[in-house]
Structure formats: structure tokens, C-alpha cells
Structure 1
């Protein structure tokens, strides 16, 4: 009878404890840099093909290519975010005055063309007329306390410009390191994944890469396009504080709230000031800018990752609510990896069942029945 192997339980527990302490201590030491490291990783993974293209144009020189990419990050990412936040902070007094004065506004009567809209015209006219009949403020007086809280929260975050600039510069610095040593970092991550999952580790790393790239293209590029087009429409329509509204549009689009609410507020302001033609044109433009989200983002995301659109949206919105802005990337990545692992497990189980149900191959003839063996 074979003896059972002995298990040194104390040694295993001490090893697990030591490993947990090492991992926890390392994360605690890196805690001030973790958020910037995660953001830099997302940015580098998403823009790595651009780095390869720039490096090829510079005859294979990595150093100048890294400098070009960092300058591009400053122009494309750092400056728009800094501009949006600094614009909100610079107009903090005007925004606070506008929000606190909401109850003093009176909604004008509904325009005549609103009733002629198919399906929703009659109901929209009744709802508009109800708000008009409510007198000065109307429903705005009810919403004013909540609007003050939201505006105060946004302005409190926007006022920390110094911390934001430091965080952005740290992110760009880490991006430079990862651009320079990206291949080595990728090999280490792949080897670790293969140690954890020998069969699917490398595929999971590639899936994460594609998910990050797809979300970066779909979310960030769409937000930039919608905010730019929406801000252009607001500026052409003559709405004041077009720069502030563009910054708000960018934040709304990046947070997956869409540009419709700020644009509708601009349309309402134009109606209140009897600029009806401009208001109608801006309303049509706003509908087009809002619909751009449903066209551009799926195309960009599906170019990088084959994932159902409902999972992409759930990952973006759920990740945003669970982890904040960084959740825009973490959520879809987690769902993509989980979805791919589930499909791989289903394929493995189906292949195993097919192998079990396959008919058995006939046995080869015995040597005694083979005439060649009697020669």
C-alpha cells in the first residue's frame, strides 16, 4: 500500500503569509503612484500602435519616437483635460450665481412648432405648458438645492488644479518609461499570466490589450468628437460661455452621460431670449451630435475587440459607477476577460462531450489472425 505524501501545513501557511505581506507592502509603497500607473498603462497600451508607426518613420529610433508620443499626449490628453477643469474653476462664481438664481427664471410658453411634432408633440406641449403655468421658477425651484450641491461638488473638484497638474505630469512621466521599456514589461506580464493559466494566459493578455485599446478609441475619441462638435454649435448659435459649456460637454461625454443635457440647456436659453431660429438649428444639431455616440463608438470599439455591445456599455457605465473615471477602462476589461474565459470553458466542455460521444475506433486485427505473421 502506497503511503500518502506528507503535507507541511505550517510551511505552506507561512509561505502564503509571507507572499501576502510582500504583495501588500509593495502595493502600499506604490500607493501614491498606483492611479497614475494605471492611467499610464491604459494610455500606453491604447497608443502603442501609434508609437510603432512613429518609430518606423524615424528609422527605428525609439528615443525620438517616445519624445514625439509624449508631446502628442500633452496636446491631445493633458491640455484638453487641464483646459476643461481650469475653465470651470475660472468661472466658478458665474456658475454658482447661475445655479442659485434658477428659481428666478420663468419658462416661456411652448413654441407653436412643438405641437406639430409626430408622436411626442402633443405630450411635450402639455408638459412644457405645465412648467410655464407653474410661474417663476416652477420645477426649477424644486431642483435648485440639488443643482447647488452638484455644482459645488464639481467646482470643489475643479479647484484642485495644482493636484491635477501634478497627477497629469506624473502620468506622462510613467508613460515615457513604459514607452521605453514596453516590450520588457509585456513579456513579464505574459510570463506571469502563463504561470497562472498555462493554456489561456497569453490569450488573456492579448484580450486585455485589445479591450483597453477598443475602449480608449470608443470612449475618449467619441467624447472629444461630441464635445468639439457640440461646443462649435453652441459658439455659432451665440450662447454665452461657450468655452465653459464645451468643458462641461467633454466631462459629460467622458462620463457617458451624453451631451444632450447641456445642449438642451443652451437651446432653452436661446428660446428664452427669442432667438428661435438659432434655437431650432441648435436643437437639430444637438440631436445629430447625440446620435453620433451610437454610430462612432460601436465602430471604434468593435475594431479592437469582438465583444457584445451590451457588455461594452455595461462595463463602461458599471466601471464608472464602481471605480470612478478609471472604471471606464477597468469595467470593460474585466467583462471582456470574464466573457472570453466563459466562452473558452464552454468550448472545452463541448469538445470533451464530443470526444466522449464519438464512436470507438475498431481494434486492429490480432497478430494471430494476420496471415503475414505465419510466413
Structure 2
């Protein structure tokens, strides 16, 4: 009897000790791989995003996985890395213009409000009063407090440029990680499926599928929206003859990635052109800005909802937190983690059943 009780206790303790041992090993592995964590995460994100493309290319290239991975890496360079490289190049080429603009901006005064604004029913008088207040007092002082001195901005830029070597190393490691993930994708997928099945059965596999589709949807939605909107804004800026149009388009791209949208950049450009250029230029810019408003509210949601139903709030919070912790890759990882956490809470609370998940993501 005593022996049987002792064996039962060992049977209960053994899984706990095994779990502790596995956890310690995983923590040690994470500690060892910590210097390479960002390239691994970034490479895994891009690999998940382009995995369907690899399969299509492999079928078209007579079953050659190497050729499919090669062309997929080229596609990833065009979609994810080329825009970032262009932004760095644009800012580097216009650093003197940006420094000069930052120097004169604090002393710039708003021009007098147009006469027709005061004739707008109900709100014209308030707009004129607010505009005059900003023109006389608030705007120059506010700009001086918000905008850092040009010397400081230039120093920050030089420090960023000084780390260009480390950025290139991370870029190379990301490509290596991506090639390894895509080359051995079936083994990795099989391992993840077995782990998820071991942990959660059918629900675990469905949860893994949801993580895949969410990552792909967010990555494509955020990146393609930023590229399309910034290119569209650049065309409008060139058509309206806006000074430093390429720099403003780069700012528009960054704003779209950070989930602020690009329409506000074009509206600010419209106001600038209204007071500094012929009316026709401001009218052209206004047309592009109005179209950009529609793009902000439609394009990204359209792309992402082809893969997953995720709210704008989750995307924004995840993007802000992700980019603060993981850099640019966190823009995609953050919303995915928040959405998966939201899904787990809803399922635990009974808001989503396993049958709902099967209908949403059929196997």
C-alpha cells in the first residue's frame, strides 16, 4: 500500500519536474539567443507573411525550393526593406534643408486669416479669434518648446548613422533567419502543430492558425498601406509643387506605419501651400488629402480583414508597444500578440467557443 502511494506521488511530481526543467532550458536558450532575438523575430514574421508565396513559386519553378526562397527574399526586400532604406536615404540627402527648416520654424508667424473665414455662419468668428490668438502668442512659443534645436537633431542623426554597421548586421542576420525558416518550413510547422496539439488539442491548432493569419494580415496591411499612401502622397506633393516633397512623403510613410495615418500630413501641406503658393497648388493638395482620408479609413482595414477581424484599437496599441520594445518588427508582432491575448480572454470567459473558431478558420 505504501509503495503504491509512493508511486502515485512520483507520477504526480514527475510532470511538474519535467515542466520546470523544460522551462529552465527554454529560459537559458532565450538568454543565449538574446543578441539574435530581433533578427529571429523579424525573420519569422516575414517568413510567415510570405509562406503562401513560397508554395506558389515552388509549384511554378518545377518544385525547386531554393529558387522559390530566392525570389521570395527578393520580394521581401522590395516590400519591407527597400522603403526603410529609401527613407534613411531621403533624410540623409536633405539633412541640411531639414536643419534650416527647423531653425526658421520657431520664428515663423502665421499669416492673417482670410477675410472669407469670418463670414462662415456660426463658427467664423470663433475661428478668427482662435487663429489670431495662435498667430500672436501661442504658436511660436509652442513650437520653440516642442521642436528640439537643430544641433540636437543633427547629433541624433549622426548617432543613428554611427550605428549603421549594427543595422546592416541585423539586416544580414534577418535574411539568414528568413532563408533558414523558409527552407525548413515544413519541419518547423510540423513541430509547432505537434506542440500546439499537445498543449490544447484542436483548440491549440486553431489558435496556431489564427496566429499565422493575424501575423500575415497585419504585416501586409500595415506595410502595403504605408507604401501605397506614401506613393500617392508623393504624387500629390509633386503635382502641387510642394517643397521637400520626398521628405514629406517619407514622414507620411512613418506616420502610416505608426498608425497615425497619412491624411494629416497632406492637410498640413495644404495649409502651407495656401499661404505660400498660388491657390491652384493648395487646391490640388486638398484633393489628394481628401482621397487620403478615405484611404486611411478603408485601405488598411480592407487588406487586414481579408485575413483576420481585428479592431483598429488593438492595432494601434500593439504597434505603439511593439515598436517601443522590438523596433520596427514590433509594429507587426505587437498587434498579433494583443489580438491573441484578447482571443484567449474571450474564450476563457466563454465569449468564443471552439465551434466559432472552427467556422472562422476551418481546417
The two structures have a TM-score, normalised by structure 1, of 0.80
Say whether residues 1:329 and 2:332 are aligned partners: yes
Q: 253, 258, 261: which one pairs with 2:261?
A: 258
Normalized per residue, the structure richer in helix is 2
For structure 2, the 5+ residue unaligned runs are 355-363
Cross-structure match for 1:76: 79
RMSD: 3.3
Q: Take 1:33 and 1:290, find their aligned partners in 2: how far apart are those partners?
A: 39
Q: Is the 8 A contact 1:89 1:158 kept in 2?
A: no
Closer/same/farther in 2, CA of residues 92 and 175 from structure 1, 3 Å limit: same
Q: 221, 225, 238: which one pairs with 2:224?
A: 221
Cross-structure match for 2:285: 282
Per the alignment, in what secondary structure is the counterpart of residue 182 of structure 2? helix
Per the alignment, in what secondary structure is the counterpart of residue 211 of structure 2? helix
Q: Take 2:48 and 2:335, find their aligned partners in 1: how far apart are those partners?
A: 15
Matched residues, number: 351
287-296 or 145-154, larger mean C-alpha shift: 145-154
Q: Is the 8 A contact 1:100 1:148 kept in 2?
A: no
CA shift for structure 1 position 313: 4.2
95-104 or 33-42, larger mean C-alpha shift: 95-104
Say whether residues 1:128 and 2:140 are aligned partners: no
Cross-structure match for 1:96: 99
Q: Take 2:352 and 2:268, find their aligned partners in 1: how far apart are those partners?
A: 54
For structure 1, the 5+ residue unaligned runs are 352-375
Q: 202, 205, 208: which one pairs with 2:211?
A: 208
Closer/same/farther in 2, CA of residues 224 and 118 from structure 1, 3 Å limit: farther
Q: 112, 131, 144: which one pairs with 1:109?
A: 112
Q: Take 1:216 and 1:257, find their aligned partners in 2: how far apart are those partners?
A: 16
Say whether residues 1:243 and 2:252 are aligned partners: no
Q: Is the 8 A contact 2:258 2:316 kept in 1?
A: no
CA shift for structure 1 position 262: 3.3
Q: Take 1:73 and 1:350, find their aligned partners in 2: how far apart are those partners?
A: 36
CA shift for structure 1 position 35: 0.5
Q: 35, 47, 54: which one pairs with 2:57?
A: 54
CA shift for structure 1 position 114: 4.5
The two structures have a TM-score, normalised by structure 2, of 0.83
Q: Is the 8 A contact 2:80 2:223 kept in 1?
A: no
Q: Is the 8 A contact 2:263 2:296 kept in 1?
A: no
> Rg larger in 1 or in 2?
1
Q: Take 1:282 and 1:106, find their aligned partners in 2: how far apart are those partners?
A: 22
Q: Take 1:125 and 1:232, find their aligned partners in 2: how far apart are those partners?
A: 32
Say whether residues 1:172 and 2:175 are aligned partners: yes
Q: Take 1:28 and 1:115, find their aligned partners in 2: how far apart are those partners?
A: 64
Per the alignment, in what secondary structure is the counterpart of residue 75 of structure 1? helix
Q: Is the 8 A contact 1:86 1:158 kept in 2?
A: no
Q: Take 1:31 and 1:345, find their aligned partners in 2: how far apart are those partners?
A: 32
Could you report, residue by residue, the CA deviation over 1:334-360 in whole angstroms, capped at 9, with x for unpaired residues?
Answer: 233233334444559989xxxxxxxxx
Could you report, residue by residue, the CA deviation over 1:83-112 in whole angstroms, capped at 9, with x for unpaired residues?
Answer: 111221333333223213222212112234
